[in-house]
A and B are shown apart, each in its own frame.
Chain A
């Protein structure tokens, strides 16, 4: 079967670091995406990993281990505006190049 697991909710303090984990079992794998979605808004692209390792982009970093079916999104120097849902998605490359999304992790940043 296909599955993407993420924690449902997380809370972290402004200025801190938070790591959001994602594990996946999918029929195919051609890369893993992280999207940010603020309440009532459309998802916006954050990162894409296809090779093992860490990709850093400003305050956000994303890590992938294909052998372990595992990824994480690391957010540093948290700001209140980072409160949002973070969606892990796998590109299954089943012919449609479509993304299989997890249900997302709702992050709340507190002062």
Chain B
């Protein structure tokens, strides 16, 4: 697609349940980033994909978080056994131009609420 899309836009879940968040980046772009933004906080880097591989997973807060990307396109971020502190907006970004990652174009985000 022309832009970055994410689904669902909102997700409410109960503590302890697993959730899957989806990102569909700019078509044909190999780089993809996941960020998290908690209420009143700046964006926190989670993970970065180059193609289907993730060279840097250092931002993932715990082993309950994992992400994968298949076919060099869609990525899913999975949170297992969700906790209330996982409540945040999860943003996916793709460089606007493949040759220059400088301008990261963000998707609309998924607002996750863990009750």
- Complex CA–CA separation, A87 to B104 (angstroms): 13
Please state if A87 and B43 are interface contacts (CB–CB under 8 Å).
yes
Q: Which of B12-20, B69-77, B105-113 contacts the other chain?
A: B105-113
The CB with the most chain B CB atoms within 10 A, among A31, A42, A48, A97, is that of: A42
Whose C-beta in chain A lies nearest to the C-beta of B108? A42
Please state if A99 and B48 are interface contacts (CB–CB under 8 Å).
no
Please state if B42 and A31 are interface contacts (CB–CB under 8 Å).
no
The number of A-B residue pairs with CB atoms under 8 Å apart is 54
Would you give the shortest CB distance from B20 to chain A, in whole angstroms? 20
A interface bracket (residues with beta carbon within 8 Å of B) = 20 to 34
Whose C-beta in chain B lies nearest to the C-beta of A103? B42
- In the complex, which residues 1-38 of chain A have their Cβ closer than 8 Å to any Cβ of chain B? 4, 31, 33
Whose C-beta in chain B lies nearest to the C-beta of A50? B102
Please state if B103 and A42 are interface contacts (CB–CB under 8 Å).
no
Would you give the shortest CB distance from A105 to chain B, in whole angstroms? 11
Please state if A42 and B48 are interface contacts (CB–CB under 8 Å).
no
Please state if B48 and A98 are interface contacts (CB–CB under 8 Å).
yes
Whose C-beta in chain A lies nearest to the C-beta of B105? A45
- Complex CA–CA separation, A63 to B41 (angstroms): 24
Residues of chain A having any CB pair with chain B under 8 Å: 4, 31, 33, 41-45, 48, 87, 89, 91, 94-104
A45-B103, A96-B55, A96-B58 given; 10 more Cβ-contact pairs under 8 Å: A33-B104, A42-B109, A43-B43, A95-B55, A96-B56, A98-B56, A99-B45, A101-B35, A101-B43, A103-B42
